[in-house]
Amino acid sequence: QVQLQESGPGLMKPSQTLSLTCTVSGDSLSSGNNYWSWIRQPAGKGLEWIGRIYVSGSTNSNPSLQSRVTISMDTSKNQFSLNLSSMTAADTAVYFCARDHVNNALGSFHLDPWGPGILVTVSS
Protein backbone atom coordinates (compact mmCIF):
# COMPACT_ATOMS: atom_id res chain seq x y z
CA GLN A 1 0.00 0.00 0.00
CA VAL A 2 1.49 3.29 -1.11
CA GLN A 3 1.56 6.06 1.47
CA LEU A 4 2.77 9.64 1.24
CA GLN A 5 3.51 12.03 4.11
CA GLU A 6 4.21 15.75 3.86
CA SER A 7 6.54 17.47 6.32
CA GLY A 8 7.81 20.99 6.83
CA PRO A 9 7.14 24.23 8.67
CA GLY A 10 3.60 25.22 9.47
CA LEU A 11 4.27 28.94 9.76
CA MET A 12 6.13 31.17 7.36
CA LYS A 13 6.82 34.88 7.17
CA PRO A 14 6.18 36.92 4.03
CA SER A 15 9.04 36.84 1.50
CA GLN A 16 10.47 33.61 2.90
CA THR A 17 10.98 30.44 0.88
CA LEU A 18 8.85 27.44 1.79
CA SER A 19 10.51 24.02 1.81
CA LEU A 20 8.31 20.94 2.05
CA THR A 21 9.24 17.27 1.78
CA CYS A 22 7.10 14.30 0.79
CA THR A 23 8.22 10.91 2.05
CA VAL A 24 6.92 7.95 0.07
CA SER A 25 6.53 4.40 1.34
CA GLY A 26 5.31 1.35 -0.52
CA ASP A 27 6.67 2.53 -3.87
CA SER A 28 10.08 3.45 -5.16
CA LEU A 29 10.66 6.87 -6.73
CA SER A 30 13.62 5.42 -8.65
CA SER A 31 11.43 2.82 -10.40
CA GLY A 32 10.40 5.44 -12.93
CA ASN A 33 6.84 4.16 -13.04
CA ASN A 34 5.28 7.47 -12.03
CA TYR A 35 5.64 11.19 -11.72
CA TRP A 36 5.23 12.84 -8.31
CA SER A 37 3.17 15.99 -7.80
CA TRP A 38 2.44 18.83 -5.41
CA ILE A 39 -1.05 20.35 -5.07
CA ARG A 40 -2.42 22.99 -2.68
CA GLN A 41 -5.80 24.06 -1.36
CA PRO A 42 -6.54 27.34 0.44
CA ALA A 43 -9.05 27.02 3.26
CA GLY A 44 -12.58 26.66 1.89
CA LYS A 45 -11.39 26.78 -1.71
CA GLY A 46 -10.54 24.42 -4.54
CA LEU A 47 -7.47 22.49 -5.59
CA GLU A 48 -4.52 24.03 -7.44
CA TRP A 49 -1.80 21.94 -9.04
CA ILE A 50 1.67 23.28 -8.31
CA GLY A 51 4.00 21.01 -10.25
CA ARG A 52 5.56 17.57 -10.62
CA ILE A 53 8.84 15.72 -11.02
CA TYR A 54 10.03 12.55 -12.71
CA VAL A 55 12.98 10.42 -11.62
CA SER A 56 15.04 11.81 -14.50
CA GLY A 57 14.82 15.21 -12.83
CA SER A 58 12.38 16.52 -15.43
CA THR A 59 9.82 18.88 -13.94
CA ASN A 60 6.60 20.61 -15.01
CA SER A 61 4.93 23.47 -13.15
CA ASN A 62 1.73 25.47 -13.17
CA PRO A 63 2.50 28.51 -15.35
CA SER A 64 1.02 30.79 -12.69
CA LEU A 65 3.60 29.62 -10.13
CA GLN A 66 6.46 28.52 -12.34
CA SER A 67 8.77 31.42 -11.56
CA ARG A 68 8.66 30.64 -7.82
CA VAL A 69 8.60 26.83 -7.84
CA THR A 70 11.48 24.38 -7.57
CA ILE A 71 10.82 20.65 -7.25
CA SER A 72 13.55 18.13 -6.53
CA MET A 73 13.93 14.47 -5.68
CA ASP A 74 16.19 12.38 -3.41
CA THR A 75 15.84 8.76 -4.46
CA SER A 76 18.17 7.56 -1.69
CA LYS A 77 15.61 8.77 0.86
CA ASN A 78 12.59 8.06 -1.36
CA GLN A 79 11.56 11.70 -0.97
CA PHE A 80 10.68 14.60 -3.20
CA SER A 81 10.57 18.24 -2.22
CA LEU A 82 8.94 21.56 -3.03
CA ASN A 83 10.50 24.99 -2.68
CA LEU A 84 8.19 27.98 -3.13
CA SER A 85 9.89 31.35 -2.96
CA SER A 86 8.65 34.83 -2.10
CA MET A 87 5.75 33.60 0.01
CA THR A 88 2.78 35.89 0.64
CA ALA A 89 -0.48 35.53 2.53
CA ALA A 90 -2.04 34.28 -0.71
CA ASP A 91 0.14 31.16 -0.43
CA THR A 92 -1.54 30.14 2.84
CA ALA A 93 -3.01 26.71 2.12
CA VAL A 94 -2.95 23.00 2.82
CA TYR A 95 -0.21 21.49 0.67
CA PHE A 96 -0.58 17.93 -0.59
CA CYS A 97 1.79 15.56 -2.35
CA ALA A 98 0.50 12.78 -4.58
CA ARG A 99 1.59 10.00 -6.89
CA ASP A 100 1.09 11.11 -10.46
CA HIS A 101 -0.10 8.50 -12.96
CA VAL A 102 0.85 9.54 -16.47
CA ASN A 103 0.11 7.70 -19.67
CA ASN A 104 1.16 10.01 -22.47
CA ALA A 105 0.15 7.49 -25.13
CA LEU A 106 -3.43 7.52 -23.86
CA GLY A 107 -3.44 11.11 -22.67
CA SER A 108 -4.39 9.90 -19.21
CA PHE A 109 -3.28 11.80 -16.11
CA HIS A 110 -4.51 11.37 -12.55
CA LEU A 111 -3.30 11.66 -8.95
CA ASP A 112 -3.54 8.73 -6.54
CA PRO A 113 -2.97 8.38 -3.67
CA TRP A 114 -2.57 11.70 -1.88
CA GLY A 115 -0.83 12.46 1.38
CA PRO A 116 -2.85 13.82 4.32
CA GLY A 117 -1.65 17.35 3.66
CA ILE A 118 0.15 19.97 5.71
CA LEU A 119 -1.22 23.40 6.59
CA VAL A 120 1.17 26.23 5.82
CA THR A 121 0.28 29.69 7.10
CA VAL A 122 2.04 32.83 5.92
CA SER A 123 1.87 35.61 8.47
CA SER A 124 4.11 38.34 9.79
Partner 1 sequence: SYEVTQPPSVSVSPGQTASITCSGHRLGDKYVCWYQQKPGQSPVLVIYQDTKRPSGIPERFSGSNSDHIATLTISGTQAMDEADYYCQAWDSSTGYVFGSGTRVTVL
CB of 112 to partner 1, least distance (A): 4
Beta bridge partners of 81: 21, 72
Q: How far apart are CA 119 and CA 92, in angstroms?
A: 8
Instruction: Give me the 55-94 binding string for partner 1, x by CB under 8 A, dash otherwise.
Output: -----xxxx-------------------------------
Name which of 23 and 62 has its Cβ closer to partner 1.
62
Q: What residues from 6 to 45 belong to the interface with partner 1 (CB under 8 A)? A: 37, 39
Task: State which of residues 53, 111, 120, 122 lies at the interface with partner 1 (CB under 8 A).
Answer: 111
Q: What is each CA distance from 115 to 22, 38, 56, in whole angstroms?
A: 8, 10, 22
Q: How far apart are CA 93 and CA 25, in angstroms?
A: 24
Q: How far apart are CA 88 and CA 91, in angstroms?
A: 6
Q: Which residues bind partner 1 (CB under 8 A)?
A: 37, 39, 46-49, 51-52, 60-63, 96, 101, 106-117
